[in-house]
Structure 1
């Protein structure tokens, strides 16, 4: 899927004209809108993807999101599925609420790696609660495009845009969700939910950007809301829809209710009585987002819920994965194993994941930790129902930086597919020298360009 010809040609151009490119970066950076929640090195070389292979990938991930939607429906219909996910009573109530729109998974980012063994793309997790990058990714891509515009022409590399390259695409999807929900306000008021004192830069930038485009937007804590007989308000101003940017692992009603004991019941009532349009749905946040989702698709006892062609797609896109349970027997590489013995014997082959996490804090990579840490996490995971995945070693990509002279380092690279309303709208990418390719673990973001033709 990586276009190596375009990569090599642009790498050579940047190296040859590094002084001019460096000056161009400084010039455009001073004029560019913000696109960083946390500081990281910026590289002018984007991740180049083959347009032809992107078309095939689009077909696969759009079919995959349909299966995710199906699972959200099946969750409501089958107790055995609800038992597998093991949600708390309050979480289960939220999942079962009618969100008022379809598909339920409106904004999703599928995070993946290119497997170094064969180059195939593997989806490692579904970021379906409130994925970051919906505003900053197109801004970064736009910045990189400006910096390398001359190089693209010099190397006769033709690229094509995707919907995400337009900074208003995300707002348009939020508005489309509100309209499908039945919202009739011409200029509805939007609230971006963040716990007070924990708002990030992207959310603040969204509020400014959306307001500038005619949709009054503010960043607010869920405890600030007042629900009336007919709707929702903050300080007397009506709020018609919300983009919930509180990550699922932090959406802890117990802590939020310390000062507001009726918070959970008020929000359940408000959503069920259609006083507020909530994006994403809680089925998206608690089922599709859950790391157990990817293991559920592969557990033999639930195979009957999906068609053969669905299983075939899931097998091609997902790494081997199972939920941790005591005394569980599994088949791995055509051999029968006790799951605990498999993970103990082959630590370097696997990754343990908590059902919900952020910034990679709930992920334990076997080859990156000592023996005691691994065994302790295994024991905890067996008690709490963690998920194990086969470790996918990511492909490396040349990352160029400017110091006294251009420096090129091969780094592990990820590929993130942004899905709006079930459709692929664009890509993001991260790179790192660490096993965890994560922005908050020393990584950096890359621009992404789709190559349409060369020459």
Structure 2
């Protein structure tokens, strides 16, 4: 089924813009920039890069995307059980061999993955394709809802005559939605409300939303603070801080890759695995389900066949062809038997190479933008590396005109749209745009508010 954005409506405003309207747009962007800063929104200490230019969606598209995002929740639950039960499935995720004994101990609640963000885009046929699962602790869980509220209060010449709504998203209506999900997950797991919570960091990285989450949990009646993972210790049947105070529930704001070979966090990880603390999300979500190899699990007929027929159909429609890069015989996107490495070399222009558990576009090589000699060298490097790689079908995004928050200049950017799910229910959207085909807010990327056309 085909779904669409309403980009033509906004694009026509740029094409027909008078000098007076252009000036008003520049002023609107400047006010948005100031209002975001005044509200304390930031991206790793820098200005929160939200453009005054929105991504306009049709109501039917919004409804479908919300339902589609929710459909991944039971798929993740089943994939987690496959990881636990099947050694062949675990071979898709070699980066976690040393911590498998921790991952395979699943908490007894459903859905397992309480918070995730599906990063995707509309392809050339207007179909939505999912490129990353983000089941660890995605950014923007509070700030994007607040940004939508702030954007909606700025007069905007781009949508002056377009009936629209920016506050249709649950996390814009209720900025505490993620915090309530943290509380509710613990209550579902143990039957009581948490008394103490920790937003857990590691080595001082990733400060986005940390203070806001701690303040919000305290406001909701849960004593909360920021703690480094290395400070936490097992204390009998509890996880405790350096003062011996019990911590009931934790939310990670860190790079989970850093924890794999860090002995100073062994107590923390063991406590999560033992179930003496509620972790949002469990370790199976922090590592394998957020690894890009999960898309290989969901697109390879050998493993996809174990899912329900409805789930298989969904994955075939919305998960791009993905394989773990290794010596293998598999099926190509058009259904032919292939030698994987030979196919990857000879189909450079249709493929992307990615480290399987890297973030923010690290190490990503786009075949269409890479000379053949460099492509083959990257394949050789990847095969020799201890870092696992995946190869994925290249999905070309769309370009949109946008006002760049940094300087107010109108420019053409690649765009995509992401969907958040809390507790199995749609929570809201994030739209990204970038000078580069790899849309990364941390590297020359910006955010576009997502709005729905009314009427």
| TM-score normalised by structure 2 residue count | 0.88
Given that 2:324 and 2:391 are in contact with CA atoms closer than 8 Å, whether structure 1 keeps it comes out as yes
Cα displacement string for residues 231-269 of structure 1 (whole angstroms, at most 9, x for unaligned residues)? 2222233311100222232223x2x21xx3xx42x3354
Q: Contact 2:170–2:177 at 8 Å: present in 1 too?
A: yes
1:394 aligns with 2:397: yes
Q: Residues 250 and 334 from structure 1, CA distance in 2 versus in 1: closer, same or farther, beyond 3 angstroms? A: same
Which residue does the alignment assign to 1:280? Answer: 281
1:64–1:313 contact (8 Å) kept in structure 2: no
Whether 1:172 aligns to 2:180 is yes
CA contact (8 A) 2:41 2:47 kept: no
Q: Distance in 2 between matches of 1:159 and 1:192?
A: 29
Q: Could you tell me how far 1:31 is from its partner in structure 2? A: 3.1
Which region of structure 1 is more displaced relative to structure 2, 382-391 or 138-147? 382-391
Instruction: Verify the 8 A CA contact 1:44 1:148 in the aligned structure 2.
Output: no
Match of 2:443 in 1: 441
Is the 1:99–1:278 Cα contact (8 Å) retained in structure 2? no
Pick one of 63, 82, 87 that aligns with 2:90. 82
Distance 1:342 1:400, change over 3 A: same
Q: How does 1:143-158 map to 2 (within 5 A)?
A: 143-148=150-155, 154-158=161-165
Q: Secondary structure at the match of 1:193?
A: strand
RMSD: 2.7
How far 1:271 sits from its partner (Å)? Answer: 3.1
Q: 2:143 aligns with which of 130, 136, 141?
A: 136
Structure 1: distance between partners of 2:106 and 2:339: 40
Once the two structures are TM-superposed, the CA of residue 64 in structure 1 deviates from its matched residue by 2.6
Q: Is the 8 A contact 2:106 2:284 kept in 1?
A: no
Q: CA deviation at 1:168?
A: 0.6
Task: Report the Cα distance in structure 2 between the residues aligned to 1:121 and 1:206, rounded to whole angstroms.
Answer: 31
Which residue of the partner structure matches residue 354 of structure 1? Answer: 355
Aligned length: 443
Unaligned runs of 5+ in 1: none
Please list, as runs of the form range in 1=range in 2, the aligned pairs for 1:30-45 lying within 5 A after superposition.
Answer: 31-37=38-44, 38-39=46-47, 41-45=49-53
Question: Which of 56, 76, 96 is equivalent to 1:68?
Answer: 76
Q: Are 2:328 and 2:339, in contact at CA under 8 Å, matched by a contact in 1?
A: yes
1:4 aligns with 2:10: no
Please tell me whether the aligned partners of residues 111 and 124 of structure 1 are also in contact (alpha carbons under 8 angstroms): yes
Contact 2:297–2:304 (Cα < 8 Å) also in 1? no
Question: Residues of 2 paired with 1:250 and 1:339: CA distance?
Answer: 30
Distance 2:312 2:423 in 1: 23
Q: Contact 2:32/2:154 (CA < 8 Å) preserved in 1?
A: yes
| Secondary structure class of the residue paired with 1:326 | coil
1:232 match: 239
Equivalence for 2:340: 339
Q: 2:54 aligns with which of 26, 41, 46?
A: 46
Aligned residue runs from structure 1 range 309-320, under 5 A:
309-320=310-321
Task: Give the conservation status (yes or no) of the 8 Å contact 2:70–2:426.
Answer: yes
**Which of 195, 201, 216 is residue 223 of structure 2 equivalent to?**
216
Distance across 1 between alignment mates of 2:170 and 2:293: 30
Report the CA distance shift for 1:27/1:119 in structure 2 as closer, same or farther (over 3 A): same
Query: CA offset at residue 9 of structure 1?
Result: 7.1
TM-score by length of 1: 0.88
1:350, distance to aligned residue in structure 2 (A)? 0.7
SS at match of 1:128: coil
Task: Note closer, same or farther for the CA distance 1:237–1:325 as it changes in structure 2 (3 Å cut).
Answer: same
1:172-231 CA deviation, whole Å, 9 max, x = no partner?
A: 11111111111524x622111111322423223322343344333222111111322242
Give how far 1:161 is off.
1.3
Gap change, CA 1:272 and 1:126, over 3 Å in 2? closer
Where structure 2 has 5 or more consecutive residues not aligned to the other structure, the ranges are none
Query: 1:246-257 residue pairs with structure 2 within 5 A?
Result: 246-252=254-260, 254=261, 256-257=262-263
Taking a change above 3 Å as real, the CA distance of residues 18 and 81 of structure 1, as seen in their structure-2 partners, is closer
Which of 341-350 and 199-208 deviates more?
A: 199-208
- Conserved? CA contact 1:47–1:446, under 8 Å: yes
Moved more, 382-391 or 166-175: 382-391
Judge which range, 82-91 or 442-451, deviates more: 82-91
Q: Secondary structure at the match of 2:431?
A: strand
Aligned to 1:243: 251
When residues 196 and 80 of structure 1 are mapped into structure 2, their CA distance, relative to the original with a 3 A threshold, is: closer
Q: Does structure 2 conserve the Cα–Cα contact (< 8 Å) formed by 1:195 and 1:221?
A: yes
Contact 2:28/2:156 (<8 A) preserved: no
In the other structure, the counterpart of 2:118 is 110
Note if contact 1:46-1:144 (Cα within 8 Å) is conserved in structure 2.
no
Q: Does the aligned pair in 1 maintain the 2:120–2:128 contact within 8 Å?
A: yes
Query: Post-superposition shift, 1:336?
Result: 4.1
1:14-36: CA deviation from partner (whole Å, max 9, x where unpaired): 63733652464355345323242
- The corresponding residue for 2:380 is 379
Cα distance, 1:112–1:210 mapped onto 2, change above 3 Å: same
2:99: which partner in 1?
91
Superposition deviation, residue 79 in structure 1 = 2.5
**Of 21, 25, 37, which aligns to 2:28?**
21
